[in-house]
Structure formats: structure tokens, C-alpha cells
Amino acid sequence: MVWPEGARLAVSIAIDFEEGAERNLLEGDPSSEAGDPESVSEGAVGELDVRSLQAESIWEYGPRAGAWRLLRILEAHQVPATFFCAGQALERNPPLADHIVRQGHEVAGRGYRLRPYYPLSEAEERADIARAVAIIREMTGKAPVGWRSRAPSERTRRLLIEAGSFTYDSDFAGDDLPVREEGLSRSFVKIPYTVETSDAGYWAMAGTPGFTRPSDFGDVLVRTFDRLYAESLTGPRFMSVGLRLRISGRPSRAGQLVRFVRHARGASRVWFARRDAIADWWLDQTPASAG
């Protein structure tokens, strides 16, 4: 098979919009979040029972400033993206939610609150998914078809399928290509989200060397693209690029998205696509196995 219009390589830009939904004593959570290198640094409170205004402010940069920078880049290069949006973050920034939709990007789910699902009871998890779906439907006019958990539980996928609107999730990093889930009552595909080609190297892996300068991330993206593009001579390939508003939206880092998009645009038969379109195409092209 090939991707639409004979493309060899499908590229998905996936952007988390989650700031405002993170753990915070203000919301009645037992602790406030500071899990970010620029907040793990000076003065961030981490897991103490005190709010960290410093960490909150660093997160707030994402929707206030970083998001608009990334949106301008996507618009200038005509790249559609998938935004994995926490319901509470959307609720708190209607102008940004509207703009994401108006610009033609996909709004997918990322929970109502930004929290791991594995410690929740089934009822709590189901309710959080339902609330996220309801808010996305209310604010965008359409229920989400895609989902990426902060950290899934063993039942997350089943609950997503029960919720009814979903055709894919990205709680999956186990392959280079999308994988159809077999034996379900409805069509569903897992679309990889790759940590290596996300901006996590700037921040998430404290204790590991990570990226030491912005071009490190761009280097990984370009190298990944070139290798996958070469491999795509023998069959379709897929590339996931993961960004966060408060990380890649910063001035020093946004340029790496520009660099990557320009690089990829220089090759023919590359399909920049939203994940919902990738899911639809994959499900259409790979029929479920019989029985």
C-alpha cells in the first residue's frame, strides 16, 4: 500500500495542549506539578504541599505565548497537526481552542485533567474520558476520534472504544507503523507516538544527558526523516513528531520545527497529515482479518 496520492512517508505533528490541567493544589490535588526541567530548577516545589507559582508560570507560557508561535509556523508552512488537548486546558483558553479548529487542525483527547490513568478506578477513568469528550464536543462542535493518555491504564483502550467516538489512540510506541486492533466490535487503530522524536529530550529525562542545545532536537528529527524516507522505497513509513507548547513553543526551540518542516518539504511524496486522516486511511487500506 501507499499513503494518499502516492505518498511514501506520512508525517504527523502531534502537539500536547495540556497546560492549565496539570496537578495543582488549587484544584484540590494533593500536590502541585513541577515536572519540567525549567521548573525542576530553581525554586520549583515539586511534590511538596505548597503551590509553586514559578512552575505554574512556566507552564502558563505554553498557551499564552508558545502556542501562537507554533500555530504561526504551521500556518506559514501549511502543515496540519493534531493537538492532544486536556479538557480543562481547553476550557481555560477558548480563543486558543477556536484558533486551533479554525486553522484546520485536529483536536484529540488527552484526558480532562492531565493525570495518569493507571492509579484511577475504572469509574473515575471512565468519567474523566467522558468529561474530556464532552468538552471537546462542546468547544469544537465535534467529538474527538483520537486520544493520547498521559499514562494509560490496562483498560484505557477498552474505555475509549466503549466511549464510541474514537477510531485511534496514540498510547503506543511499539512499532514504526500504525497497527490495527483486531477482534474488536469496531475498527480501531494504534498510531505510534515516539518519545525519541518528541521534545521530551529537552526536559523529561532528568538524569539523562538529553538535548544540550536546540539543534539537537532538529538533528534527531532530520536523521529520523532521512532514514525513514530511504526505507520508504520498500513500503510506507510513518513519522511522529511530538511537541509541547511550553517547551517547543519557546523562542530558542521553535526554529527546530521550521527547520524540520523545510527539510521534509524538500522531499517529494511526503504526506503531512492529521492523525485522524492517518487512522481513516489505515483502516480503509488494511481490512480486518476474517473471523
Partner 1 sequence: MHDARELVGYGLDPPRVQWPGDARIAVSVVVNFEEGAEQTPLYGDPAVDSMRERFAVAPGYRDLRTESFFEYGSRAGFWRLLDVLDELDVQASFFISGHAVEENPRAAAEITARGHEPCGHGYRWAPLYVLPVDEERRQLLLAVEAIRKATGQRPLGWNSRGQSLQTRRLLIEEGGFVYDSDSYSEDLPYFVAADGVKWLTLPYSFETNDMKFFRPPGHGTPEDFLAQLVAAFDCLYEEGRTHPKMMSIGLHMRYSGSPAGASAVRDFIRYARAFPNVWFARRIDIARWWLDHYAYLPAMRS
Among 3, 15, 52, 152, binds partner 1 (CB under 8 A): 52
How far is C-alpha 257 from the chain's CA centre? 15
How near is the Cβ of 213 to partner 1 at its closest, in Å? Answer: 4
Nearer to partner 1, 102 or 234 (CB): 102
> Cα–Cα distances in Å, from 25 out to 17, 45, 101, 290?
20, 12, 31, 51
262 part of the interface to partner 1, by CB under 8 A: no
77 part of the interface to partner 1, by CB under 8 A: no
117 part of the interface to partner 1, by CB under 8 A: no
Nearer to partner 1, 98 or 284 (CB): 98
Nearest to 218 by CA among 271, 177, 264: 264
Part in contact with partner 1 (CB under 8 A); list of ranges 132-140, 224-232, 234-242, 249-257: 249-257
For the chain, how many residues are written?
291
How near is the Cβ of 128 to partner 1 at its closest, in Å? Answer: 20
Nearest to 87 by CA among 26, 127, 136: 136
Residue environment code for 201-233, b if the CB has 16+ CB neighbours within 10 A, otherwise e:
bbbbeeeeeebeebeebbebbbebbeebbeebe
How near is the Cβ of 272 to partner 1 at its closest, in Å? Answer: 22
283 part of the interface to partner 1, by CB under 8 A: no
How near is the Cβ of 42 to partner 1 at its closest, in Å? Answer: 6
18 part of the interface to partner 1, by CB under 8 A: no
How near is the Cβ of 220 to partner 1 at its closest, in Å? Answer: 13
252 part of the interface to partner 1, by CB under 8 A: yes
Q: Applying CB under 8 A, what is the total number of residues that bind partner 1?
A: 54
Task: Look up residue 108 and give its three cell numbers.
Answer: 484529540
Nearest to 286 by CA among 174, 167, 194, 171: 167
254 part of the interface to partner 1, by CB under 8 A: yes
211 part of the interface to partner 1, by CB under 8 A: yes
236 part of the interface to partner 1, by CB under 8 A: no
Report helix angle 156-163 to 122-140, nearest 10: 40
DSSP one-letter string for 142-210? S--S-B--SS--TTHHHHHHHHSS-SEE----S-SS-EEPPS-SS--EE----STTBGGGGTT-TTS--
78 part of the interface to partner 1, by CB under 8 A: no
Task: Look up residue 130 and give its three cell numbers.
Answer: 467522558
Q: CB-based burial of residue 69 (10 Å sphere; 0-12 exposed, 13-18 middle, 19+ buried)? A: middle
Task: Look up residue 126 and give its three cell numbers.
Answer: 471512565
260 part of the interface to partner 1, by CB under 8 A: no
Part in contact with partner 1 (CB under 8 A); list of ranges 32-40, 104-112, 144-152, 181-189: 32-40
Part in contact with partner 1 (CB under 8 A); list of ranges 65-73, 146-154, 183-191, 270-278: 65-73
How near is the Cβ of 264 to partner 1 at its closest, in Å? Answer: 20
Reported as type and span, the H/E element at residue 15 is: strand 9-17
Contact set with partner 1 (CB under 8 A): 19-20, 24, 26, 37-45, 50-54, 56-58, 60-61, 63-65, 68-69, 89, 92-93, 95-96, 99, 201-203, 205-215, 250-255
